[in-house]
A and B are shown apart, each in its own frame.
Chain A
Amino acid sequence: MPVRYSQYLNAAAVRHRSVSYNALAPIVDGRGQKPGRISLNFNQVIELLAPYCGIRIVEQLKAVAPLAAYLMLFQLLVLRHPVDSAVTLCFGLIAVVIGLAVFMEGLSTGLMPFGNIIGDNLPKKASMFVVLVIIGILGVGVTFAEPAIGALQAFGSSVDVVKAPYLYELLNNWALPLVLMVGAGVGIAAILGTVRFVRGWSLKPMIYLAISPVFLLTIYAWFDPNLRSVLGLAWDCGAVTTGPVTVPLVLSLGIGIANAAGKGGSSLSGFGVVTMASLFPILAVLILAIFVSFSITPDEIIAAAKTAGNVVAEQPSIWDQTPLAEIVLGVRAILPLVLFLMFVLFIVLKSTLPNKMVTVYGLTLSIVGMCIFNIGLTYGLGAIGSQTGGVLPAAFMEIPVSESSPIFNIVTGLSIVIGFAFILGFGATLAEPALNALGLTVQDLTNGAFKKSMLMYSVAGGVAVGIALGVSKVVLGFDLMKVLLPLYLLGITLTIFSTEEFVNVAWDSAGVTTGPVTVPLVLAMGLGLGNAVSAIDGFGILSLASICPIVAVLTMGLVIKMINKKTEHAVTG
């Protein structure tokens, strides 16, 4: 009888044995039948831990490694500039990967159960007003916990005080109020989003209502030459807030509340919060900036910065040194959020956690992960971003750090730099896991008319164009608002003509593209680039990277609608 080779291999490699389950199962004696705790030996622990850690680290590695490799290779091969302090950079990037992996695991085992329990139980036990207040405070808390927000604060010192006094003042002396205001913006957005869930409001009028004051304040700030430099920062803040902590936590609360109110279940109910959360912080930061401009003059800021620069010689305290500074930042980011969630759960709801040990483990992980990520942010992502940004102008102009600069003539060099930014945006966006999830939702929502790949490519293309535009803004120094405002106006015009579904998807697509890896990298690159070409500020890239995908997706939606109509006419006619 012929034997298949594969069967032979299987028989040779696999040992078969049998044991009766009767021998394994506990003997029935009528009492104490509950099985006891399982004890594990060392090998079993390793076999359990290895895949658990492996999967999570590989996931983050997939997001970080290609981007870092792209930046380094571009710097080496095209800009012909060695990668400075490569060893530190590598350790920094490893810290980013591990920190993010640990933090995300902590988020899903520690923070998310909190959000779900509170979202399910709060509306049953508290009045609508209390629920909204808690959601508002939570908005502030999650903003602090957002990994990317640390990046904003970290780059404050690189701003030139003489060119952009208010920007310098905001980032250095008003850093805490700045984050608080951004948080307040997110909080208000979360409240409005929840009310929208429950009442079933349309998103369109809310966009118009939210964006008009933003426009008004922007135009006001634009006419004040000192405030103009703050605009880039303000519009970028909107993109920073919609990260991996805010979106799931606020959504889980909002959906729980909508379910309790009997209005859940709509496929659209998850959308809209992200949009609001990216518009209100802009408003909040602008208000803060205008407030600062009334309380202090540019000359005072410059004078204060000069005196501060003179006394810098004093020994920095141990708390300001690495890695303690990063650890303090990490603890400060997560702890308030955790304490507030505990307060709501134990005091307001008088409830307990189903699995205390796992939750404590998750919360510890999220704090530890945040600390490691912060260290990686300083030495890995931030460093490589600002380094490449700093060398980038070598392609088209003479800069001191690169001997062979300018490498190309001005037109070729500029196109290479803009092309570099375009590919960076395209690649980073396609790698973002949230985009895949959004694509699937959209495909279901439109019954396959809007294909997943089509959405992913239009969003990625939008981000790519946005980042390329942003980089050219920094290099060429044109006015951000002259590009941003027309784009937003275009977005609003398209919104008027689009259906509710597409409006929801398109405005939310901006939020998914700005993850914890992309944001610090792009911010650092923009600022490094800005310093190298001595532009006023390197902000604005992120804000362009959020409006362009909105316009792209809305346009795609309209084009698809038109094609569908045409085919319908063809069929009927």
Chain B
Amino acid sequence: MKQRTITYLTDANLITCVIQKDLAEPVLEAAKNAGAQGATISYAQGTGVRERMGLMGVTIDEQKEVIRIIVSHEQSELVFETMYLAGQLDKPGKGIMFMSALERVATYIPDDVFEKLS
């Protein structure tokens, strides 16, 4: 039986950005420019602030996109900031984002890449 290998990646962070549906494109673009390898996007429906704003709630799209990106520890600060600025999250009603440390990440790592690193 052939022995199989699991390569664990350490020092990884997860950036999650919940943003109004139409505004996701620039955020994704910015993240890629800042060095993000890829992104997982899911569609979601938000609730909370919209309902508490009365009529002004219509200005915020109920449909959201959730962008999840795994970044290395070193990239994380730059990617996070770039995404924040590109999504204009410093304006009201645009969205929210957060970053959390990941205990372990595992995916396909080619053998030659692994050997070069270790």
- Please report A residues at the B interface, Cβ cutoff 8 Å: 6-7, 10, 14, 35-38, 40, 44-45, 47-49, 51-52, 55, 109, 357-358, 361-362
* Interface residue total, chain B, C-beta cutoff 8 A: 18
| Contact present for B57 and A10 (CB under 8 Å) | no
- Decide yes or no: A55 and B22 within 8 Å by CB, A10-B81, A44-B92, A48-B92 being known contacts: yes
Give every chain A residue within 8 A of B81 (Cβ-Cβ).
Answer: 10, 14
CA gap between A14 and B82 in the complex, in Å:
10
Give every chain B residue within 8 A of A55 (Cβ-Cβ).
Answer: 22
| Contact present for A14 and B92 (CB under 8 Å) | no
| Contact present for A357 and B54 (CB under 8 Å) | yes
Task: Tell yes or no: B56 within 8 A of A by CB.
Answer: yes
- Decide yes or no: A48 and B60 within 8 Å by CB, A10-B78, A14-B85 being known contacts: yes
| Contact present for A361 and B52 (CB under 8 Å) | no
The smallest C-beta distance from B59 to any residue of chain A, in angstroms, reads 4
Contact string against A for B residues 60-89, beta-carbon threshold 8 Å, 1 for contact and 0 otherwise:
100000000000000000100110010000
| Contact present for A358 and B57 (CB under 8 Å) | yes
Q: Which of A7, A37, A361 contacts B58 (CB 8 A)?
A: A361
Q: Which of A7, A35, A48, A357 contacts B59 (CB 8 A)?
A: A48
CA gap between A380 and B58 in the complex, in Å:
29
| Contact present for A47 and B92 (CB under 8 Å) | yes
Contact residues of B: prevailing secondary structure: helix
Task: Tell yes or no: B2 within 8 A of A by CB.
Answer: no
- Decide yes or no: A7 and B53 within 8 Å by CB, A48-B60, A52-B59 being known contacts: no
B49, B52, B81, B92: most-surrounded residue (chain A CB, <10 A): B92
The smallest C-beta distance from A272 to any residue of chain B, in angstroms, reads 27
Task: Tell yes or no: B4 within 8 A of A by CB.
Answer: no
Q: Which of B54, B85, B91 contacts A37 (CB 8 A)?
A: B54
The smallest C-beta distance from B9 to any residue of chain A, in angstroms, reads 24
**Quick one: closest B residue to A4, CB to CB?**
B78
CA gap between A37 and B57 in the complex, in Å:
11
Task: Tell yes or no: B55 within 8 A of A by CB.
Answer: yes
CA gap between A394 and B78 in the complex, in Å:
62
Give every chain A residue within 8 A of B56 (Cβ-Cβ).
Answer: 40, 45, 48
| Contact present for B49 and A38 (CB under 8 Å) | yes
23 A-B interface contacts by CB (under 8 A): A6-B78, A10-B82, A14-B81, A14-B85, A35-B52, A36-B52, A37-B54, A38-B52, A38-B53, A45-B56, A47-B91, A48-B59, A48-B93, A49-B59, A51-B59, A51-B91, A52-B59, A55-B22, A357-B54, A358-B57, A358-B58, A361-B55, A361-B58
**Quick one: closest B residue to A34, CB to CB?**
B52
CA gap between A572 and B109 in the complex, in Å:
39
Give every chain B residue within 8 A of A52 (Cβ-Cβ).
Answer: 58-59
- Decide yes or no: A40 and B55 within 8 Å by CB, A14-B81, A48-B60, A55-B22 being known contacts: no
**Quick one: closest A residue to B22, CB to CB?**
A55
CA gap between A35 and B108 in the complex, in Å:
46
Closest 4 CB pairs of A and B: A52-B59, A48-B59, A38-B52, A44-B92
